[in-house]
């Protein structure tokens, strides 16, 4: 598989981005379900809340998808600029500095001059890059995935209001589902980071509750 295709698919399947979009969608849905007054809300208020929550997540899903494409295009253009700078450098030391600057933190220092030279030579041996950065099919699939994650994460939070007639019980069910989703999201992030997964899950659930309270207090 070509390196460029591997890079595209890695972006689409990035677990941090995927889990973050789900958590964002859950928090947005919670900000609407939490605005209901259990004592006075009727079926019409519940219906309005559900449509508003879905509409909001549709809008933010679209925004996130567009931002995903813009970020992808910007990063790809930056990589092209770096490649041209390295290949056009007259002094190898200048190319080394450009490569080291693009590497995470102290990785450039860790691999040393020999490692930077190996990278410079491999970059110089690559085929000529395209004239400008472009978006491909996988990028648009990734944007679609971002959109769907934000939108679909709304439904588990509002489903209890559809199938449970008692408002108080439906609210508890909705909050329980949301907390489980936040815990799972945090758990997966902790596992991906190599930390204590269950602690990260509990922290995400707690932070999610605080964030929803802040969002509601600010009128969000």
The predicted-structure confidence for 97-129, as pLDDT tens digits, reads as follows 888 888 877 776 778 888 888 888 888 888 887
pLDDT, residue 69, reads 93
Distance, in Å, from the CA atom of 23 to the CA atom of 205, rounded to the nearest integer, reads 10
Distance, in Å, from the CA atom of 134 to the CA atom of 62, rounded to the nearest integer, reads 20
pLDDT, residue 42, reads 65
pLDDT class of 218 with cuts at 50, 70, 90: low
3-state secondary structure of 130: coil
pLDDT class of 215 with cuts at 50, 70, 90: low
CB distance 202 to 180 below 8 Å: no
pLDDT, residue 199, reads 92
């Amino acid at each position: 598989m070509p390196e460029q295709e591997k890079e595209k698919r890695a972006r689409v399947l990035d677990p941090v981005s995927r889990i973050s979009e789900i958590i964002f969608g859950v928090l947005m849905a919670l900000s609407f379900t939490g605005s209901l007054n259990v004592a006075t809300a009727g079926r019409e208020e519940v219906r309005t809340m559900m449509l508003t929550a879905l509409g909001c997540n549709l809008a933010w899903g679209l925004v996130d998808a567009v931002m995903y494409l813009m970020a992808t295009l910007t990063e790809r253009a930056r990589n092209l600029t770096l490649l041209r700078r390295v290949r056009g450098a007259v002094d190898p030391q200048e190319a080394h500095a450009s490569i080291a600057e693009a590497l995470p933190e102290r990785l450039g220092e860790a691999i040393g001059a020999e490692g930077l030279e190996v990278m410079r030579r491999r970059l110089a041996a690559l085929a000529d890059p395209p004239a400008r950065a472009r978006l491909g099919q996988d990028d648009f699939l990734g944007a679609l995935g971002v959109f769907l994650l934000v939108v679909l994460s709304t439904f588990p939070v509002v489903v209890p209001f559809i199938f449970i007639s008692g408002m108080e019980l439906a609210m508890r069910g909705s909050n329980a589902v949301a907390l489980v989703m936040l815990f799972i999201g945090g758990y997966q992030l902790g596992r991906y980071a190599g930390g204590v997964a269950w602690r990260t899950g509990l922290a995400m659930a707690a932070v999610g509750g605080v964030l929803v309270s802040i969002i509601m207090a600010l009128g969000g």
